[in-house]
Chains A and B, each alone.
Chain A
């Protein structure tokens, strides 16, 4: 799998490159700022991009804009955004096009190599991966939402869904049968008013539902 990285901190980009190389990824290019990133994506047409939120010259939220722009120009290019802190606003902006293939993780998670690599594969495969921190923010800060009507178990399932896990993996994680997970997810969809169209997109929209209810 070919990856383009946008990260200005040499320490981190070198670390990422090393880590990805041990797991069979091919790092096509490491871009130091948003402009170089756009050019690198254009040149290499990678399968996945990893983008830091803060990039030169101003170190604000250039990475978010660069990621959204790259997805717009390159057919929803799968992008995983890494951030120093959790901000649900950023997650919302990344998810806004509703096309999947998006991840938003705290930089800390990179150290959990296996989980991080899993997340990369999920995003590259069109899934959605949200940092547990974002999910926590959403669940604790929205008690008056329709989300309130979810049972704790359903909330847990939704949280894991937002992290990008599939039904089987969720079942494994909370130690229930896959069938039970299926039922929980059905309840979540129903309570959030999501019509049974394409299930894959409904998963994304369930996460989006949190972010829309502002």
Chain B
């Protein structure tokens, strides 16, 4: 019983708000037409229309949210169209959907709202009947067509009106509100394609975040190992060294200490190799350009580095770029028999372009475990692109574009 009452009350509230909103929408319709017409007036519309469409969108969002709440569904309207670009905005499916909804919303809301108003009105006015009969003379009040003339008819009228209101509320309002909500929900729901597009956008963004966080984490681990574990090992080696000198008199202890010392040195060596695999320390110390300069310096083939102003790069892009160049240069030296290598780096808007060119023998075969596979995998993780041209006889060029956000 309480359930029925609660549902009726919610439905009634929903429909009454809809009634008001429907009337507001009736005003918004001609306003939309007026704002659209200003496009021809000295370009005013180019400024006004996107803003107005933003208002319509917010208005639609609000009612979509209300409908979703009533139905107990998630309110996902998909990504809002880009309001800074006029053409795509006016052609966006979501804009068209908002406008169709704005036209249909009053048509459904006003009649449905009136039914709710009737139910609420019947209940509200029923209690007035006895007062009306008892207090002022003159005018005659009717309840369902029968004049109220005494306590009998007044009480009967109250009962009849409350009954009618309860019947409306219990049986009609809730289904009516749900039907109204469903219709509006469907009118405003984004299409599958739009939802997917929004999802792709979101995944792209979160993937970039994850890759970035991963890069930062590797860098932190590198620091921790160097400044924590490695430093501790050095300190142990130092103490062992001092101890070794102090116990020269006892050859057995000296031998033990020497073994311990050698073991510590091997551990340091292994740890250093391990750290280099996690995150190149030179990249942490000198940044991308500094690290690549050092790479060029220690490459056996003359290597020229051409780097313009790169600005601040995301950690992930920096690490990937370093990896790509290291891999491509190693390939050129090991398999390509190159005589000269050129590495070019340039920042282009939202991307970092890396080109590694060598004059070697070419004919890179990607299927046969060349470093290109690793490059492709690394770059794909950042949603970048790889282009490899390597005709037999050379030259080989690896060109990579890494998105850098903005």
Interface pick from B58-66, B165-173, B265-273 = B265-273
Given known pairs A9-B231, A60-B284, A111-B265, the reply for A88 and B298 (CB within 8 Å) is yes
In the assembled complex, the Cα of A54 lies from the Cα of B269 at a distance in Å of: 19
Which of B127-135, B142-150, B237-245, B319-327 sits within the interface?
A: B237-245
A interface footprint on B251-282 (CB within 8 Å = 1, 0 otherwise): 00000000001001100110010011000011
Known contacts A85-B272, A111-B240, A114-B245, A142 near B234 by CB under 8 Å: no
Q: Which partner residue on chain B sits nearest A114 by CB separation?
A: B245
A31-90 interface (Cβ within 8 A of B): 53-54, 59-61, 84-85, 87-89
Task: Report whether B285 and A111 are in contact in the complex, using a CB–CB cutoff of 8 Å.
Answer: no
Q: Which among B176-184, B289-297, B308-316, B388-396 touches the partner chain?
A: B289-297
CA–CA, A84 to B245, complex, Å? 24
Name the distance in Å between A115's Cβ and chain B's nearest Cβ.
Answer: 9
B82 at the interface (CB under 8 A from A): no
| A89-B293, A114-B245 known; A59 vs B286 contact (CB < 8 Å) | no
CA separation between A112 and B285, bound complex, in Å? 27
Q: Which residues of A contact B301 (CB under 8 A)?
A: 144
Contact indicator B281/A85 (Cβ below 8 Å): yes
Interface residue A166 (Cβ < 8 Å from any Cβ of B): no
CA gap between A11 and B265 in the complex, in Å? 17
Q: Which single member of B223, B245, B281, B298 contacts A113 (CB below 8 Å)?
A: B245
A144–B341 alpha-carbon span in the complex (Å): 15
Q: Cβ of A113 and Cβ of B244 under 8 Å apart? A: yes
Nearest chain B CB to A36 CB, angstrom units: 18
Q: Give, as a whole number of angstroms, the nearest-CB distance from B206 to chain A.
A: 29
A8 CB to nearest chain B CB (Å): 9
Establish whether residues B242 and A113, one from each chain, have CB atoms under 8 Å apart when the complex forms.
yes
Partner of A12, one of B231, B261, B265: B231
- Assembled-state Cα–Cα distance A13/B230 (Å): 14
Binds B, one of A15-23, A123-131, A156-164, A201-209: A15-23
B156 interface residue per 8 A CB criterion: no
Within 8 Å of chain B (Cβ to Cβ): is A98? no
Would you call B370 an interface residue if the criterion is a C-beta within 8 Å of the partner chain's C-beta atoms? no
Closest residue to B243 on the A side, CB-wise? Answer: A113
Give bound CA distance, A87 to B290, whole Å. Answer: 12
Q: Are B241 and A112 in contact (CB-based, < 8 A)?
A: yes
Cα-based distance from A12 to B231 in the complex (angstroms):
7
Q: A108 CA to B234 CA in the complex, in Å? A: 6
Check A53 against B285 for contact (C-beta < 8 Å): yes
**Are A141 and B272 in contact, with the CB atoms below 8 A?**
no
Chain B stretch 220-248: residues in CB contact (< 8 A) with chain A: 223, 226-227, 230-232, 234-235, 237-242, 244-245
- In the bound assembly, the distance between CA atoms of A18 and B294 in angstroms comes to 35
Q: How large is the interface on A (under 10, 10 to 19, 20 to 34, 35 or more residues)?
A: 20 to 34
**A179 interface residue per 8 A CB criterion:** no
- Asked if A199 CB lies within 8 Å of chain B CBs, one says no
User: A137 an interface residue at 8 Å Cβ cutoff?
Assistant: yes
In angstroms, Cα B286 to Cα A15, docked, is 28
Check: B300 CB closer than 8 A to any chain A CB: yes
A22 to B241, CA, bound (A): 12
CB-based contact A111/B238 at 8 Å = yes
**How far, in angstroms, from A84 to B240 measured CA to CA in the complex?**
19
Separation of A44 and B272 alpha carbons in the complex (Å) = 35
What residues of A have a CB within 8 angstroms of the CB of B234 in the complex?
12, 15, 107-108, 110-111
Identify A108's interface contact among B237, B242, B275, B297, CB under 8 A.
B237
Q: Does A24 sit at the interface, judged by CB under 8 A?
A: no
Give the CA-CA distance A199 to B213 in the complex, in Å: 54
Which of B226, B239, B264, B300 interacts with A144 by CB under 8 Å?
B300
Chain A contacts for B286, CB-based, 8 A? 60-61, 89
On whether the beta carbons of A142 and B238 are closer than 8 Å, the reply is no
Known A59-B223, A84-B272: A22·B242 in contact at CB below 8 Å: yes
In the complex, how many angstroms separate the beta carbon of A111 from the nearest chain B beta carbon?
A: 3
State A108–B240 Cα separation when bound (angstroms).
12
B245 touches A16 (CB 8 A): no
Considering the chains assembled together, what is the distance between the CA atoms of A11 and B227 in angstroms?
Answer: 10
Q: Contact at A108–B241, with CB atoms within 8 Å?
A: no
Nearest residue (CB) in A for B268 is A108
With a CB–CB cut-off of 8 A, which chain A residues contact B240? Answer: 111
Asked if residues B237 and A111 are in contact (CB atoms below 8 Å), the reply is yes
A54/B285 contact (C-beta < 8 A), A9-B227, A84-B230 known: yes
B204 within 8 A of A: no
Tell me which residues across on chain A come within 8 A of B238, comparing CB atoms.
Answer: 12, 15-16, 18-19, 110-111, 113
* 11 residue pairs bridging A and B, Cβ less than 8 Å apart: A11-B235, A22-B242, A61-B285, A84-B281, A89-B290, A89-B293, A89-B297, A110-B234, A111-B238, A112-B241, A141-B299
On B, residues with C-beta under 8 Å from A are: 223, 226-227, 230-232, 234-235, 237-242, 244-245, 261, 264-265, 268-269, 272, 275-276, 281-282, 284-286, 290, 293-294, 296-301
Top 10 closest A-B pairs, CB basis?
A: A111-B237, A113-B241, A89-B294, A15-B238, A111-B241, A60-B285, A11-B235, A214-B297, A107-B234, A61-B285
| Extra contacts besides A61-B286, A84-B230 (9): CB < 8 Å | A18-B242, A19-B238, A60-B286, A61-B285, A88-B297, A89-B282, A111-B237, A141-B299, A143-B300
